[in-house]
Amino acid sequence: MKTYLHWYTDSWLSRNQKPSLTFGGNMFAFKTFCRCLFYILLCAWVGNVSAEKYRICVVDGKEEYKHSAKYCPRLDQQDSQVECVVASDRLDCLRRIHKGKADFGVFTAEDLVAATNSEIDVLLTNELRFSSDQNFEYELVAIVANAANIRQKHDLRGKKYCHPGYGYEADWTRILSNYFEASVVTPQCHPNLTITENRVKATSNFFGAACKAGPWVNIPGLDYELKDKYPNLCSLCGDTRRCSIQDKYWGRRGSLFCLTDGSGDISWARLDDVNPHFGFTSGNQGINPNDYSLLCPDNTVMPLNSSTPCVWVVKPWSVIAARRAKAQKIQDIISSLINSDSASWQAHLLNLIEPIYYNVEKLDPPTSIEAYLHRAKGFLNANSFSACHPPRTIRICTTSNIETAKCSWLRESAAVYGIEPDLDCLKADNKTHCMMALSDNAADILMVSPDLVQQAKRDFKLSTLFYETVPDANKYTTVAVTKKGSKFKSIKDLQGAKACFPVYGGIAWNSAVHALQKRRLIGCNINAEMANFFGPSCVPGITENESENLWKQCQSDFEGDMGALHCLASGIGDVAFVSSNSIDQFRNAEDIDYPHFSEESVDFKILCEESNENNQPCHLSWAPLGQAMIRSSSSDMWKKDTLNVFIQLDGLFGKKYKDLTNQFSMFGRYDGAADVLFHDETEKLRNIPIMKNTDEMKLPYDKILTDINVCYSSASWSTGTLILTIISLIVTILVSK
* Distance, CA of 18 to CA of 622 (rounded, Å): 82
Better-predicted residue by pLDDT, 694 or 239: 239
Rounded percentage of the chain residues whose pLDDT exceeds 70: 85
Better-predicted residue by pLDDT, 536 or 47: 536
Quick one: pLDDT at residue 283? 59
Q: CB under 8 Å to 125, separation ≥6 — which residues?
A: 104, 319, 320, 321, 322, 327, 328, 330, 331, 334, 362, 363, 366
Quick one: pLDDT at residue 277? 93
pLDDT at 726 over 50: no
Quick one: pLDDT at residue 485? 86
pLDDT at 187 over 60: yes
**What residue type is assigned to position 483 of the chain?**
K
Cα–Cα distances in Å, from 683 out to 20, 328, 452, 501?
78, 41, 21, 28
Binding-site residues for Fe(3+), in ranges, read 138, 476
Cα 709 off chain centre by:
34
Q: What is the 3-state secondary structure (H, E, C) of 130-169?
A: CCCCCCCCEEEEEEEEHHHCCCCHHHHCCCEEECCCCCCC
Concatenate the DSSP letters of all residues of 242-310 into one string: T--TTSTT-STTHHHHHHHTTS-SEEEEEHHHHHHHTTTTTS--S--GGGEEEEPTTS-EEETT-SS--
Quick one: pLDDT at residue 682? 96
- Crossing angle between the packed helical segments 636-653 and 195-206, to the nearest 10 degrees: 90
Task: Tell me the pLDDT band of 54, cut-offs 50, 70 and 90.
Answer: very high
Better-predicted residue by pLDDT, 169 or 62: 62
Cα–Cα distances in Å, from 29 out to 8, 9, 14, 26, 141?
16, 13, 15, 6, 81
* Distance, CA of 507 to CA of 55 (rounded, Å): 46
Quick one: pLDDT at residue 716? 42
pLDDT at 8 over 80: no
Q: Per residue in 302-359, pLDDT tens?
A: 999 999 999 999 999 999 999 999 999 999 999 888 777 888 999 999 999 876 667 8
* Distance, CA of 222 to CA of 212 (rounded, Å): 16
pLDDT at 16 over 60: no
Task: Tell me the pLDDT band of 29, cut-offs 50, 70 and 90.
Answer: low
Q: Are 596 and 569 in contact (CB under 8 A)?
A: yes
Average pLDDT for residues 208-218, to the nearest whole number? Answer: 96
Average pLDDT for residues 444-463, to the nearest whole number? Answer: 96
Quick one: pLDDT at residue 13? 44
The whole-chain average pLDDT of the chain stands at: 86
Cβ neighbourhood burial of 43 (10 Å; 0-12, 13-18, 19+)? exposed
Q: Are 443 and 393 in contact (CB under 8 A)?
A: no
Q: Are 141 and 310 in contact (CB under 8 A)?
A: yes
Quick one: pLDDT at residue 281? 74
pLDDT at 112 over 90: yes
Better-predicted residue by pLDDT, 693 or 233: 233
Q: How wide is the angle at C-alpha 100 spanned by C-alphas 98 and 106, nearest 5°?
A: 60
pLDDT at 41 over 60: no
Q: Which of 15-29, 202-216, 369-383, 471-485 has the highest mean pLDDT?
A: 202-216
Quick one: pLDDT at residue 614? 54
What 3-state class would DSSP assign to 99?
coil
Average pLDDT for residues 637-663, to the nearest whole number? Answer: 93
* Distance, CA of 75 to CA of 85 (rounded, Å): 11
pLDDT at 540 over 90: yes
Quick one: pLDDT at residue 342? 84
pLDDT at 7 over 70: no
* Distance, CA of 178 to CA of 525 (rounded, Å): 59
Find the radius of gyration of the CA atoms of the chain.
34
Quick one: pLDDT at residue 36? 52
Point out the least confidently predicted range of 87-91, 198-202, 469-473: 469-473
Task: Tell me the pLDDT band of 301, cut-offs 50, 70 and 90.
Answer: very high
Quick one: pLDDT at residue 39? 52
Quick one: pLDDT at residue 690? 84
- φ/ψ region of 418 (left if φ > 0, alpha if ψ in -120 to 50, else beta) reads left
Quick one: pLDDT at residue 108? 94
Average pLDDT for residues 630-639, to the nearest whole number? Answer: 96
Binding-site residues, in ranges, read 138, 170, 476
pLDDT at 14 over 60: no
Binding-site residues for hydrogencarbonate, in ranges, read 170
Better-predicted residue by pLDDT, 335 or 693: 335
Task: Tell me the pLDDT band of 723, cut-offs 50, 70 and 90.
Answer: very low
Point out the least confidently predicted range of 216-225, 228-237, 647-656, 691-700: 691-700
